Amino acid sequence: MTTEEMQKKIEKVFSERFGGKGNIYASAGRINLIGEHTDYNGGFVFPGAIDKVIMAEVRPNGLDIVRVFSIDIDQYCEFGLNEEDAPKESWARYIFGICREIQKRGGDVKGFDAVFAGNVPLGAGLSSSAALESCFAFALNDLYNGNNIDKFELARIGQSTEHNYCGVNCGIMDQFASVFGRKGNLMRLDCRSMEFEYFPFSPENYRLVLVDSRVKHELADSPYNKRRESCERVAKRLGIETLRDATMEALNKIKTDITAEDFFRAKFVIEEKERVLAVCDALNAGDYETVGRKMYETHAGLSKDYEVSCEELDFLNDVAKELGVTGSRIMGGGFGGCTINLLPNDLHDKFVKEVTARFNEKYGHEPKIYDVVISDGARLVEESPKE
């Protein structure tokens, strides 16, 4: 469904369910060029928002309950705004969490009606959940808080929602990208200082393509939180706040005091930090071959040391390499989802055809292919006409 079609659908359903019109808001899914599992270690990430969004029509209802309908799941849910009112439906908990996290920070939220839908593929590692959180955080900031909550806080509200209502101890990357995304730009974020810069990304001869293995990716109760715990254990052992400050030299010194598993997790994080910086230099020099090489290194690290890959993703990585793709790696938390591929324009059609056929032959289903269009993040799409 295109974003325009989706908006029409949302407007139709909203007027049928609630009558009239509300404001339309949207926020985006994200890609990440490099810098994986570094955000919660105080390191660097390199994400950008994409042209796939969660969109919602939202209007205050003058009550103290939220009434919300999800078009994609075809479910309706109602909940109050006190802690004990948490809904059971996992999709509604994201919205409830946003309301509560705004309230906990002293912000205002009252009852509203909403209808939403999305074209960010679910479980593909493109952060549909961050898009949902950012869309509602942005909307409630606009409707009830005079846009006084700053954008970093909006991202943190989304992150805290994951921590406190959805069971995922994620870092800040996804919500940051979804809130701050800007058309045509990637962003390098230092997750310790939260300083960032926009990085125009429109290489003349290369493009980014995602290959979605359609292997389900579920971060709650998943080994994701365990990875984070490993990193925190090693940081503690090294007497530092996060692995941002760790070196391989220091890690090697404590090698015999920690488990092999923790050692390899920390090794990956330390190496990944260096890779992000190397990729920035390479991008500044227009050296896409180096960018690609670093992406392959990240994949190897994520697969062997961090162990967040799976057979299908390793297969996609091997096929990419064989077909001459410049860079390819798992993207996002891992355990399924997409690979991100950097490739010369003239390889695009051949790559898409071959990777689709070969994956289908081996796993009995075709992967989905998404051409990356780097787009804007959270926004007001359309204001309802004033009565």
Known catalytic residues are 174
User: Minimum Å distance from CB 332 to ligand GLA?
Assistant: 4
* Look-up of token digits 């030299």: 249
Q: Please, which of residues 107-146 interact with ligand GLA by CB under 6 A?
A: 127
- Locus of tokens 């109760």: 221
| E strands present in the chain | 23-32, 44-45, 47-60, 65-70, 75-80, 112-118, 185-190, 196-200, 206-212, 327-330, 338-344, 368-371, 379-382
> In the complex, what is the shortest distance from the CB of residue 308 to ligand GLA, in angstroms, rounded to a whole number?
8
- Using CB under 6 A as the binding rule, whether residue 158 contacts ligand GLA is answered as no
Burial state string for 328-364 with b = 16 or more CB within 10 A and e = fewer than 16: bbbbbbbbbbbbbbbbbeebbeebbeebeebbeeeee
The amino acid sitting at 341 is N
Instruction: Assess 333 for contact with ligand GLA (CB under 6 A).
Output: yes
Residues 164-183 vs ligand GLA: string with x where CB under 6 A? ------xx-xx---------
- DSSP 8-state class, residue 126: S
362 phi/psi in degrees, rounded to 5: -80, -40
Q: Is 40 in the site for ligand GLA (CB under 6 A)?
A: yes
Report yes or no: 57 and 112 within 8 Å, Cβ to Cβ: no
Residue of 36, 101, 113, 272 that binds ligand GLA (CB under 6 A):
36
Nearest distance, CB of residue 178 and ligand GLA, angstroms: 11
Radius of gyration over alpha carbons of the chain, in Å? 21
- The type of residue at 64 is D
Q: Tell whether residue 299 is a contact of ligand GLA (CB under 6 A).
A: no
Q: Which is nearer to ligand GLA, 39 or 297 (CB)?
A: 39
> Among residues 33 and 343, whose Cβ is nearest to ligand GLA?
33
Report, in Å, the least distance between residue 57 CB and ligand GLA.
26
Closest listed residue to residue 213, CA positions, set 364, 30, 343, 366: 366
Toward ligand GLA, which CB reaches closer, 56 or 173? 173
Give the interface segment with ligand GLA, choosing from 31-39, 111-119, 179-187, 298-306 (CB under 6 A).
Answer: 31-39
Nearer to ligand GLA by Cβ, of 130 and 342: the residue is: 130
Choose, by CB under 6 A, the member of 48, 332, 336, 377 that binds ligand GLA.
332
Q: Which of 10, 26, 31, 39 binds ligand GLA (CB under 6 A)?
A: 39
* Count of beta carbons in the 10 Å neighbourhood of residue 71: 19
Residues at the site binding ligand GLA, with contacts judged by CB under 6 A: 36-37, 39-40, 127, 170-171, 173-174, 332-333
